[in-house]
Amino acid sequence: MGPDGEAGPRAGSTVISIVLPDRTGGPAGPEKAALGPLSGDGVKMFRERADHRWTGTERRPRSAGITVDQLSITGMALVFNPAAFWLRRAIWLAIIVCLLVWLCVQLRLCVLRLTEGGTVRTWSRRTVADIPLPAVTVCHGNRFKNSVVLRHQPAGAASWPSWHRLGYQTLNWSSFDGLDQFYAEASYGWDDMVFFCMVNGSNCTDVGTLASAPTLLNGLCTTFNTNVTVTRRLVSAQLMLGFHELEPLDEFEHNGWHVYLHPQDVHFNDFLFLSGLTASVKVFGNRLHEVKVFRRVTEALPNGEGKGCSTERDALYAQQQCLGSCMMESMAAGAPPSADQGPPCSVPWVPRTAYPPDTTSCATMEELSAASMDTHQGVDETAFLSWTAECQCAPPCRADQYQLEEHEKWHAEETSIYLSYPEARNATIGAVMLRLSDVEELVTEREAYSADAFISDVGGNLGLMLGGSLLTFVEIVDCVIASCLSRREKRARVKS
């Protein structure tokens, strides 16, 4: 006990007196004497407070302008806390600087991907209950009838092989009144090629319509179109076509039939054929073909891959009109598409609406060569692609195409077709059975790196590296503004 009856230090304990100096710098006065003796526990606590400041969280008073430590970035408050242990602050500062550098690298990569642009395509499939039938265009492989061609060739020089090599040059142009007459007389009609056509057991002419499609490369074709839908078939076909040859052809003179499948709202012509928007089946003589077909729908971006596309409803028709007009100008001048005058005569594979009303059909080989720019024997695919590139005609953004999934064929003698049609036993025939799949393939074009993906990546990197968000940028702006205003007020107070 002390002299005043107070408890004193225990025996063996250490007594430490803490004397605080006077603020004026002089010695401590009596009122500022030792705070009193501390026990061993007190000494231990004092040492922890004085020496181990790693976990210290005390903060010194700061001016209102210093607001950096108020940011929500993890560790920022500790870095700008003067009361924290210096080594701890240094480690956190190094970590934050490294993460900021890495964040800048990631943001630069995101900006580069965004500026590079580009597109990607995704594939998906869906099942439909009611399957729409495609438009079916039938063309003869020989293009023209053998008997008519030989009749209009010069006497003594009639030859089917020479026609295949030289075409219209072998004709006696004085034997017919213009090219239109020969084209109509020598072309194959629907009945000249097809002897049966069935859709789910119904005759094609009862459920659909037939339309002529004059072309340069395939002659006069006929398109069957119907709005009837069919259902899924696993074994049998929904559409069957039978072909026969009525012309007296020698051996190796028959070139079969062509069957083209395309969307119902698209008129078949040479442009559609060369654009690759049709699925084709070559039916050979005395062969039976079974084909499984599926539909592919492609949706492109207006400013996507290539030179863009058109979103108009009749974009494909507009593209064909553009290509037709461009090529007509080229044929008229024999030069790149820039001419203003029309061709000297008309050809049957070009619509009459493309010519002036008083244009007559080509009556001589020279007129045909001038009107067709020497393409009357056919258009080379390379030249067509070149014309397409020069004419700058935008394709449709949405394109429907039919693709062949399976294709099998047999000799007619290996099937029972002669039992169903005995009259075809001594003729050249062919047949095709179309089995339509109930699965549609969707091809969608989208941006390779969209603005939404850019924002998502920026936010993800910001949160991963610094634990921040978009609001962190708002806090930084607020911090800068508050700091500037605080310094401005401080300078104003100093001056006053």
Give pLDDT tens digits for 394-406.
888 888 899 998 8
| H or E, element range at 136 | strand 135-140
As a whole number of angstroms, the distance between CA 173 and CA 330 comes to 25
Sheet holding 135-140, edge to edge: 209-214, 220-225, 135-140, 257-262, 279-283
What is the distance of C-alpha 380 from the center of its chain?
A: 28
SS3 of residue 435 by DSSP: strand
As a whole number of angstroms, the distance between CA 25 and CA 298 comes to 89
Distances (CA, A) of 287 to 66, 257, 315, 408, 429: 90, 11, 38, 10, 7
Going by C-alpha positions, the residue among 225, 307, 222, 206 that lies closest to residue 259 is: 222
| The domain over range 76-116+451-487 is classified in CATH as 1.20.1630 | no
Going by C-alpha positions, the residue among 435, 360, 433 that lies closest to residue 402 is: 435
Phi, psi of 403 (to 5 degrees): -120, 145
Per-residue pLDDT band for 243 (boundaries 50, 70, 90) equals very high
Q: CATH for 125-334+342-447? A: 2.60.470.10
Of 318 and 297, the structure prediction assigns the larger pLDDT to: 297
Contact between residue 131 and residue 231 where contact means Cβ atoms under 8 Å apart: yes
pLDDT of residue 338: 40
pTM over 0.85? The answer is no
Residue % of the chain over a pLDDT of 70: 81
pLDDT over 70 at 435, yes or no = yes
Of 4 and 74, the structure prediction assigns the larger pLDDT to: 74
Q: Which residues contact 362 (CB under 8 A, 6 or more apart)?
A: 178, 179, 345, 346, 347, 368, 371
Q: Where are the domains of the chain?
A: 76-116+451-487, 125-334+342-447
| Burial (CB count within 10 angstroms: exposed 0-12, middle 13-18, buried 19+), residue 220 | buried
